[in-house]
């Protein structure tokens, strides 16, 4: 072909979710990932926008792994006209069989619930972003490929997948377009992670696109056995307090790692037989996929793991609600950032109990409910309800499926030389900037780029990337904490703050002045319109 190669970043640039990159090579257009934005309401509205490309003209999608922030907009892509293959590993394909329909059901149920809310009574109902049927159609287009096997999409355009060590089936994507060699890290796991061998890939590329989720964090190196000791202490302390231990989990990988560790502790006689409830239908189905691949997984030890008699998998909503009457139980529920699913129900019933414990074992993105709780919020708003935070809030960082700063630097060093540019993506702005400075001091690449959503670059062999168009300003503004987060904090604490004013007349005066401020913005807007 001898065509020019371009890349456009449509998501996960200076933010952690919404991974989606488009490559154009002559007339050939390919997507790397097609993920859902997760976080603040403003950020999530981006999921409803039309794709900034024609889905029907894409030749292929190459998927790094099954996490929803990388795969969750595939059903929308197919619904909008994409009819080509979705390439991924066989294990990722097995996980998508459960994850995509579940995502469709969540879109339908969350939309229905939101439309029923009293505070939306005078607003037009909104449709789901996609349906379960759309998700099933997307799954039908998935095609499994083995690690390290080349797949040609055109005579001089091909790719192959390498183990990324992040979750079951996760891959880094090596791609050749003419004489230009690229590597997309996907999400890279830490060394010595449970279940999977360490990440690997070749060296010597023109351009590397690397994730930066924990680019500003260096975790203490903790072995699997040391991690189990930390978990044992948290479980024992929580059960002594007499309440429930509620653990927000990602249905995929984090749940299975916790089950592995809890089962291992019980099998070793280090824990009595606690009651462990896995309250996520998706986690139940994902666990069945792990059981299928158990013979290929590392660190499984001896004794029963995924089918341990202490584990109780909740199915129906009625079964989930019966857990409200329990104390002294361990409850694992999705989602991991507390933005949807049954975890919100359990937080409503346990955050206000001093004897309960909420244990976070995963990354909490800016603007999420989980981040607010971890950051020390005294009150939070859950599904229209104000909830006081009285429970013990604890955290274990050693379960991360992401490489930390040292791991990322080592992974990049092993990919050198990088003749063109190193792109840092899939991280919050501060994490990316911290990592960029460290990599600059490492001389990791002569050109280090931190793209924004919407930016487009020309990628040539042996040359630094050249920016062709700037990012979308309105999208970047949605990336960080938004006005709805500020409003939720303000509304949740407003009554309490007013009650701190001793004099009733002064309280009324405070309310009047707040109304006055809002009215001044309406008046200002009216004057601007009149001026035009």
Element containing residue 102 per DSSP (H, E):
helix 90-116
**Alpha helix (H) ranges present in 178-316?**
224-241, 254-267, 281-292
3-state secondary structure of 452: coil
What value does the mean pLDDT take over residues 219-239?
94
Reported as a pLDDT band with limits 50, 70 and 90, residue 134 is very high
Cβ neighbours of residue 377 closer than 8 Å, sequence gap 6 or more = 389, 489
Reported as a pLDDT band with limits 50, 70 and 90, residue 529 is low
Model confidence over 263-295: pLDDT tens digits? 999 999 999 889 999 999 999 999 999 999 999
451-to-183, 417, 432 alpha-carbon distances in Å: 16, 21, 10
Per-residue model confidence (pLDDT) at position 486: 63
> Picking from 29-38, 197-206, 512-521, which range would have the lowest pLDDT averaged per residue?
512-521
Reported as a pLDDT band with limits 50, 70 and 90, residue 1 is very low
Cβ neighbours of residue 233 closer than 8 Å, sequence gap 6 or more = none
Percent of the chain with pLDDT over 90: 76
The residue that leads in pLDDT, 207 or 364, is: 207
**Other beta carbons less than 10 A from residue 502's beta carbon:** 7
Note the CATH architecture for domain 5-218+401-479: 4-Layer Sandwich (3.60)
For residue 491, pLDDT beyond 90? no
Distance in angstroms (rounded) separating the CA atoms of residues 45 and 62:
24
What value does the mean pLDDT take over residues 409-423?
98
User: Counting Cβ atoms within 10 Å, is residue 461 exposed (0-12), middle (13-18) or buried (19+)?
Assistant: middle
Per-residue model confidence (pLDDT) at position 368: 87
> Picking from 128-137, 142-151, 482-491, 494-503, which range would have the lowest pLDDT averaged per residue?
482-491
Per-residue model confidence (pLDDT) at position 485: 58
Question: Longest C-alpha distance within the chain, in Å?
Answer: 79
Q: Are 333 and 343 in contact (CB under 8 A)?
A: yes
What value does the mean pLDDT take over residues 454-468?
97
Closest listed residue to residue 74, CA positions, set 163, 134, 159, 154: 134
For residue 115, pLDDT beyond 50? yes
For residue 2, pLDDT beyond 70? no
Q: Is 77 left (phi over 0), alpha (psi -120 to 50) or beta?
A: alpha
Q: What is the DSSP string of 395-451?
A: E--TT-SS-BHHHHHHHHHTT--EEEEEEEESS-HHHHHHHHHHHHHHT--SEEE-P
Distance in angstroms (rounded) separating the CA atoms of residues 382 and 370:
11
76-to-8, 135, 339, 363 alpha-carbon distances in Å: 19, 8, 20, 26
What value does the mean pLDDT take over residues 374-379?
94
Three-state SS string over 292-306 comes to HCHHHCECCCCCCCC
For residue 532, pLDDT beyond 80? no
Distance in angstroms (rounded) separating the CA atoms of residues 477 and 449:
20
Three-state SS string over 122-155 comes to CCCCCCCCCCHHHHHHHHCCEEECCCCCCEEEEC
Give the start-end residues of each E strand in 43-170. Answer: 60-62, 86-88, 142-144, 151-154, 157-163
Closest listed residue to residue 451, CA positions, set 425, 473, 479, 429: 425
Distance in angstroms (rounded) separating the CA atoms of residues 214 and 428:
9
Can you name the residues that pair with 245 across neighbouring β-strands? 330, 357
Q: Are 317 and 323 in contact (CB under 8 A)?
A: no
Q: Share the mean pLDDT of the chain.
A: 92
Percent of the chain with pLDDT over 70: 95
DSSP class of residue 34 equals -
Matching fold, domains 5-218+401-479 and 224-395 = no
CATH topology of domain 224-395: Rossmann fold (3.40.50)
What value does the mean pLDDT take over residues 288-313?
93
Reported as a pLDDT band with limits 50, 70 and 90, residue 525 is confident
Q: Parse the chain into domains and list their residue ranges.
A: 5-218+401-479, 224-395
DSSP class of residue 328 equals S
Rg of the chain in Å (alpha carbons): 24
Reported as a pLDDT band with limits 50, 70 and 90, residue 484 is low
């Amino acid at each position: 072909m001898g065509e020019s190669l371009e890349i456009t970043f449509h998501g996960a640039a200076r933010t952690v979710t919404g991974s989606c990159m488009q490559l154009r090579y002559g007339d050939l257009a390919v997507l790397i990932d097609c993920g859902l934005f997760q976080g603040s309401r403003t950020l999530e509205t981006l999921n409803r926008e039309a794709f900034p490309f024609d889905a029907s003209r894409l030749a292929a999608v190459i998927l790094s792994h099954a996490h929803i922030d990388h795969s969750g907009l595939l059903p929308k892509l197919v619904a909008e006209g994409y009819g080509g293959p979705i390439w991924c590993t066989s294990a990722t394909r097995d996980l998508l069989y459960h994850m995509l329909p579940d995502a469709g059901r969540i879109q339908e149920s969350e939309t229905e619930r939101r439309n029923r809310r009293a505070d939306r009574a005078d607003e037009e109902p909104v449709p789901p972003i996609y349906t379960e049927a759309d998700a099933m159609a997307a799954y039908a287009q998935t095609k499994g490929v083995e690690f390290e096997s080349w797949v040609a999409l055109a005579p001089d355009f091909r790719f192959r997948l390498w183990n990324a060590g992040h979750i079951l089936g996760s891959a880094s994507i090596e791609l050749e377009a003419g004489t230009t060699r690229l590597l997309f890290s996907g999400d890279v796991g830490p060394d010595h992670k449970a279940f999977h061998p360490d990440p690997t890939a070749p060296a010597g590329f023109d351009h590397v696109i690397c994730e930066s989720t924990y680019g500003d964090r260096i975790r203490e190196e903790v072995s699997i056995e040391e991690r189990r000791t930390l978990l044992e202490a948290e479980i024992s302390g929580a059960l002594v307090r007499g309440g429930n231990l509620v653990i927000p989990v990602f249905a995929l990988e984090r749940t299975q790692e916790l089950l592995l560790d809890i089962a291992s502790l019980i099998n070793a006689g280090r824990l009595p037989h606690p009651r462990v409830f896995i309250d996520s239908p998706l986690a139940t189905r994902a666990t069945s996929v792990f059981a299928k691949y158990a013979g290929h997984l590392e660190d499984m030890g001896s004794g029963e793991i995924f089918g341990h008699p202490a584990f109780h998998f909740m199915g129906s909503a009625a079964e989930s609600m019966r857990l409200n009457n329990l104390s002294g139980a361990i409850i694992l529920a999705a989602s991991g950032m507390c933005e949807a699913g049954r975890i919100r129900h359990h937080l409503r019933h346990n955050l206000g109990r001093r004897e309960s414990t909420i244990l976070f074992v995963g990354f909490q993105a800016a603007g999420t409910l989980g981040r607010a709780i971890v950051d020390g919020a005294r009150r939070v708003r859950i599904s229209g309800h104000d909830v006081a935070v009285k429970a013990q809030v604890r955290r274990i960082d050693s379960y991360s499926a992401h490489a930390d700063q040292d791991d990322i630097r080592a992974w990049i060093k092993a990919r050198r030389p990088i003749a063109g540019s190193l792109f840092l993506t899939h991280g919050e702005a501060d994490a990316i900037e911290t990592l960029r400075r460290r990599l600059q001091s490492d001389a990791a690449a002569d050109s280090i780029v931190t793209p924004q959503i919407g930016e487009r670059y020309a990628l040539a062999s042996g040359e630094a990337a050249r920016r062709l168009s700037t990012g979308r300003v309105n999208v970047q503004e949605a990336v960080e904490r938004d006005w709805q987060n500020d409003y939720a904090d303000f509304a949740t604490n407003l009554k309490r703050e007013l009650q701190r004013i001793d004099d009733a007349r002064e309280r009324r005066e405070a309310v009047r002045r707040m109304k006055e401020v809002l009215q001044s913005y309406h008046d200002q807007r009216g004057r601007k319109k009149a001026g035009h």
